[in-house]
Amino acid sequence: MTRTTKQWPRRLAIFAAALGLTAVLPGLSVYDNVLLSLQAGDSMAALMLSRSRRRLHGRIMQTLARFRLDARSDELACALSHCQQQWLEIAMAIARGSSP
């Protein structure tokens, strides 16, 4: 896999976040799915540089713990069961709607 090919999932995710989509992206980790849902309001430049990752870490882990997905944060979303993917999608929507 070339470097350019490896960058596609992240680039697609950036555009999904910019559009405010909350669908689970199976090629990204559970953590990154929640991160991108929280970054939906960020500028395109901030998304490209992912400046908010450190700032949002605690909130992401708290959200994942709430849905009992924190132990699987590093796994790809496609490794989750269908039910867990639905919980992840709900977690993404709730995290995005909650105040910082």
Tell which residue, 71, 52, 67, has the closest CA to residue 14: 52
Q: In whole angstroms, give the CA distance from residue 65 to residue 43.
A: 27
Fold of 3-97: Rossmann fold (3.40.50)
Higher pLDDT, 62 or 4: 62
Global confidence as pTM: 0.72
d(CA 77, CA 36): 13
Q: What is the pLDDT of residues 30-70, one digit of tens each?
A: 999 998 888 877 666 766 676 677 888 999 999 999 999 99
| Weakest mean pLDDT among 1-5, 11-15, 18-22 | 1-5
Q: Pick the more confident residue, 55 or 17.
A: 55
**So what's the pLDDT on residue 36?**
85
